Structure 1
C-alpha cells in the first residue's frame, strides 16, 4: 500500500483522514448572527442555571433543530430532553469500539424514548477497514488520530442539520472542564448547550435513581467515565472520574469539546 506523507511503512499517514465528509456544513448567515446574539445575551444568565431551565431555554430560543448528544454512559440527558426538549434528535457516536454494554444501553434508549429519533453516527471507514488502511490498533499508536476519525469528524458531519447541540459536560469531571459554560458557540457557530455543567457525580446518580433511568452496568463496576472499550479502564475510589480514559497515554480529551 502507498505510504502517504510519512505514515508507518505500508500504511497511510493517520494525519490524513480517509476520503469522505469530515466537516460540518456552514450555517446560514442569519442563523449564525442569531446564535451569536443569543450567547451574548444569555450565557451569563445560564452559567449556573438548573438543567431544566437550560433545556427549556433551548426549546424556546434555539432558531432551529437541536441535537442531544448521548455517550450512553448514562441517560440523564435523554430523560431531561423527553421532558424539556421534545422531539429533539438523539445523537450517538458509534465508534465500533464500544463496550457491548454501551450498545445495549443505546438500544434501550431507542425503545424507551420513541418520540426522539436516535441517530447513530459512524466513521467513514468501518473498524476493519481502518485497520487495513492505517494499521491495527491505531488507538494505541495515535489515539488522537483515532478519535478524530471515529468521533470528531463523524460528530461534525452529523451536526450539519442542526443549529445547536446539547452535551453532557460537567465541570466536576476534571480540571479541563472546571469552567465550562452552559451556553457557548462551537467553532461552526452552532449553539453548544451543556445543562449538566453544575452537576456532581452524586447529583447524576441521584437523578438516575429518582427517575428509574436505564443504568449502564459498568458505572457500578468502577467506570465513572466510559468511552471506547479499548481505551477505558476502571478507576479507584477517589480518583478523577476520567482517570481511566486513555490511561496508556497523556491524552485527556477526545477532541469533541475543544
Structure 2
C-alpha cells in the first residue's frame, strides 16, 4: 500500500486494505448505507477513511443533549476537516426528554438500570431509528476487544431490531492500531482521550479510568459490565434477514 498509509506497519496496512474493501462493498451492494459516528477514536478512523477514499456512505451522529464540551468541539472540527462528508446530526424528541426529566428527575439514570435505559432509549434509540429509516445498512466503529458484550459480534450481521444489515469494519482492530492510524494520518480526535477517557458517551455517564482498568470501565461505572450497553448495539442474529 502506498502513501498516505505508508507509515503504517505491514500488518495494519493489511487490515486497512480489508477495511477499505469492505467499506467499498457496503457502498456498492448495500446502498443507501450510513455510518453512525459517535465521535470516538474508532469512528474518527472510519470518518477519515470514508472521506479520504471518497466512499459513498453518508455519516450521521446522535446529539443526546448531554455530551461533553470536548465532544462538541470535535464535532465542529470534524465538519471543518471533512467538508466533503458532512455529518448529519439527529436530536432526541424534546417532548420525550421533557417528560422524562419532569417525571423522574434530571439525573434519574443513576437510580436504576431501568431508568438509565429509559434515558438511553429517549436520547439515543429513538433518534437512531430515524437516522436508519429507509437505509439498507449501517456501519459502526465497534471493536471486539472493547467490551465483554462485544466479543461475539461479527463483521457483518443482520440487525433484527432495526431491520437492516450492520457492519463493523474495525472489529478485529486493536486499540493500538486505531491510535497508530490516528497519529500517522493526523486524524482529529476527542481531547478527553488524552485525559484517560478511552470510551466517551454522555458527560454524566462517563468518567476517566485508572491504569489497568478495562477501556469501558468509565462508562456507566455504577453498573455491572454485562449491562453496559445503551441498546444501540443490541444482540443481532445471522447474516441475512429471516425468511
> Which range, TM-score by smaller chain?
0.7 to 0.9
**Match status 1:67 vs 2:34:** yes
Deviation at 1:237, TM superposition (A): 2.1
In structure 1, the residue matched to 2:121 is 148
Question: Are the counterparts in 1 of residues 34 and 59 from structure 2 also a CA contact under 8 Å?
Answer: yes
Q: Which residue of 2 aligns with 1:56?
A: 24
Deviation at 1:246, TM superposition (A): 0.3
**Is residue 2:176 matched to residue 1:202?**
yes
- 1:5 is matched with none
Residue aligned with 1:50, SS: helix
The answer on whether the counterparts of 2:100 and 2:119 sit within 8 Å (CA) in structure 1 is no
* Alignment correspondent of 1:137: 107
Instruction: Give structure 1 stretches of 5+ with no counterpart.
Output: 1-47
CA distance in 1, matches of 2:103, 2:76: 30
Q: What is the TM-score normalised by the length of structure 1?
A: 0.76
The answer on whether the counterparts of 1:86 and 1:116 sit within 8 Å (CA) in structure 2 is no
Q: For 2:166, what is the secondary structure of its paired residue?
A: strand
Which of residues 209, 216, 225 in structure 1 aligns to 2:190?
Answer: 216
Distance between the aligned counterparts of 1:203 and 1:177, measured in 2?
18
Q: For residue 205 of structure 1, report the CA deviation from its aligned partner.
A: 0.5
CA distance in 1 between counterparts of 2:54 and 2:151 reads 26
Q: Say if 2:224 is the partner of 1:255.
A: no
Moved more, 196-205 or 241-250: 241-250
1:112 Cα shift?
Answer: 1.4
Aligned mate of 1:77, from 46, 50, 64: 46
Q: 1:53, CA displacement in angstroms?
A: 2.0
Provide the C-alpha distance between the structure 2 equivalents of 1:138 and 1:157, rounded to a whole number of angstroms: 25
* In 2: Cα distance, 1:49 partner to 1:248 partner: 39
Higher radius of gyration, 1 or 2:
1
d(CA) in 2 for partners of 1:79 and 1:246? 29
- What are the ranges of 5 or more consecutive residues in structure 2 without an aligned counterpart? 1-15, 235-243
Q: How far 1:117 moved relative to its partner? A: 2.9
Larger helix share, 1 or 2 = 2
Q: Give the distance between the partners of 1:140 and 1:86, measured in 2 at CA.
A: 40
Distance 1:81 1:154 in 2: 23
Which residue among 168, 177, 181 is the counterpart of 2:141? Answer: 168
Question: Does structure 2 retain, via aligned residues, the 8 Å contact 1:95–1:123?
Answer: yes
Q: Which moved more, 1:201-210 or 1:127-136?
A: 127-136
TM-score calculated relative to the size of structure 2: 0.81
2:69 corresponds, among 91, 95, 100, to: 100
Distance in 1 of aligned mates of 2:104 and 2:85? 36
Q: Distance in 1 between matches of 2:171 and 2:93?
A: 31
1:89 aligns with: 58
User: How much does 1:133 deviate?
Assistant: 4.3
